[in-house]
């Protein structure tokens, strides 16, 4: 079955090192919590808020051992007034036997505000 795993994190600064580090942490947590291996991943989409342009957060994916061939794409997030700033969002599409209810979505730092309903899952 193909499922989507969501993830989001925030950074404090528009700096390449921080953006890549926080994205890597989030991707690794998404894979670990859902028992996902690189060969299970169909694709990864990463969006960033307009205040983040110091780096492509997809660089983080290439730092993870075994993820060389995982397709990834970055894009800008919609600039909605009042939305969470300095936010990096991920949609990882994977092949898994988990049900939708079993999938663990990962929200780190200030991004926990995006889906408080999933924090006590």
User: Active-site residue among 3, 22, 87, 107?
Assistant: 107
User: Active-site residue among 6, 18, 104, 110?
Assistant: 6
> Which tokens is 37 given?
């291996």
Residue 115 a catalytic site member: yes
Closest Cα partner for 88 from 118, 34, 44, 40? 44
User: Active-site residue among 16, 17, 39, 115?
Assistant: 115
Residue 74 a catalytic site member: yes
Ramachandran bin of 109, using left for φ above 0, alpha for ψ from -120 to 50, beta for the remaining angles: left
Residue 18 a catalytic site member: no
Residue 107 a catalytic site member: yes
User: Active-site residue among 89, 101, 104, 110?
Assistant: 89
User: Active-site residue among 18, 28, 74, 110?
Assistant: 74
How many angstroms separate the Cα of 69 from the Cα of each of 44, 51, 62, 83?
Answer: 11, 29, 9, 33
- How are strands ordered across the β-sheet holding 72-76? 72-76, 41-48, 87-95, 2-10, 106-107
Residue 3 a catalytic site member: no
The residues assigned a catalytic role are 6, 62, 74, 77, 89, 107, 115
């Amino acid at each position: 079955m193909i499922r989507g795993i969501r993830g989001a994190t925030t950074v404090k600064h528009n700096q390449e090192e921080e953006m890549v580090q926080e994205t890597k942490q989030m991707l690794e947590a998404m894979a670990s919590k859902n028992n996902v291996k690189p060969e299970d991943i169909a694709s990864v989409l990463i969006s960033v808020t307009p205040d983040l342009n110091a780096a492509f957060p997809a660089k983080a994916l290439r730092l993870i051992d075994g993820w060389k061939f995982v397709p990834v794409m970055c894009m800008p997030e919609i600039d909605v007034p009042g939305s969470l700033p300095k936010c990096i969002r991920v949609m990882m599409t994977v092949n898994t036997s988990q049900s939708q209810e079993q999938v663990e979505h990962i929200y780190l730092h200030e991004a926990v505000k995006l889906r408080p309903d999933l924090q006590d899952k």
